Amino acid sequence: MTTGPSPVRPSCKPNEVGRTSPMGKASDTVSPTGSGNDPDEAAVLDYLLRNPDFLKEHPDVLLLATPPQRFESSEGKVVDIQHVMLKRLQTEMADLQDCAEQLIITTRSNMATQKGTLQAALAVLESEGIDGLALTIAEDLPLFLDVDVCTLRIEQGLPGVPPAIATLPPGLMGRTFETDDMAALRPLSPAESVIYGATASEVRSDALVRLTAADGQPLGILALGSRLEGTFEPDMALDLLLFLARVVENCLRRRMPPR
């Protein structure tokens, strides 16, 4: 097979910087005239002079540049306050940029959590009967809430509750929650089969939310479990979790026969 001649790359010599391009404008290309492919100082200076808006359009360059010192020949006897202030400003700007990026990441995470909570609430409302509610919580909520296990457990002895979910012995809720607490977030949780059943050994961290009847009596627990220790911490916000628990609670109240 016959091949054609190898393509020739156009060269750019030092004296070609700023030469008029075919479009009739000065070329903005910085010629590699230093060692390797790095341009020399004259080429960089020439480029900046011909593009005075470069630093305005690329302010990040200033964060990396070393500010000049006015008293370099003083052998450390004179402190250049301007140099110190510029270095401090560069550090503060870098910190602000890091904070902004972290804020964006946190905001996106919060939006995803809020979306998942609303989807979970809709799934709960669309379920039918107590059995359907428990099944929705067990099968659908882990996907929406990005956890490994979700369960609904009701206190034993309440009428109209399927035995499969009526596993909480009387008094357990009082021992699990503090007097006024609506939820318990546990970074490291014990294996509790009365809450998680056969999956109890897989749960390392969990969030338990108190469910109460209309008369204020204990009703049950909504439990979210994770295989990773430390997934839930006591200082986490509870707004969305309590909102979802109230939706589950009201569904239970309407579907259970009166005591």
Query: What six digits make up the tokens of 36?
Result: 């390797």
Residue 129 has pLDDT above 60, yes or no: yes
Residue 143 has pLDDT above 80, yes or no: yes
Residue 13 has pLDDT above 50, yes or no: no
Query: What six digits make up the tokens of 81?
Result: 């306050």
Query: What six digits make up the tokens of 140?
Result: 């659908």
Gap between the Cα atoms of 145 and 132, Å rounded? 18
Closest CA to 16 of 39, 162, 214, 36: 39
Residue 86 is predicted with a pLDDT of 74
Gap between the Cα atoms of 247 and 134, Å rounded? 13
Residue 31 in contact with residue 17, Cβ under 8 Å? yes
Q: Please state the φ and ψ torsions of residue 221, each to the nearest 5 degrees.
A: -135, 135
Q: What is the mean pLDDT of residues 90-111?
A: 86
Does this model's pTM top 0.85? My answer is no
CATH class of 127-255: alpha beta
Residue 205 is predicted with a pLDDT of 96
Closest CA to 250 of 220, 224, 223: 220
Strand partners, 208: 184, 223
Arithmetic mean of pLDDT over the chain: 81
Better pLDDT: 171 or 196: 196
Residue 3 has pLDDT above 60, yes or no: no
CA distances from 203 to 2, 105, 135 (A): 68, 27, 19
Confidence of residue 60 (pLDDT cuts 50, 70, 90): confident
Q: What is the mean pLDDT of residues 163-169?
A: 90
Domain layout of the chain by residue ranges: 40-115, 127-255
Residue 34 is predicted with a pLDDT of 47
Q: What is the mean pLDDT of residues 172-197?
A: 90
Confidence of residue 37 (pLDDT cuts 50, 70, 90): confident
Which stretch of 95-99, 194-198, 250-254 has the lowest confidence by average pLDDT? 95-99
Gap between the Cα atoms of 65 and 55, Å rounded? 11
**Strand intervals (E) in 78-204:** 149-154, 183-186
Gap between the Cα atoms of 149 and 202, Å rounded? 9
Q: What percent of the chain has pLDDT over 90?
A: 41
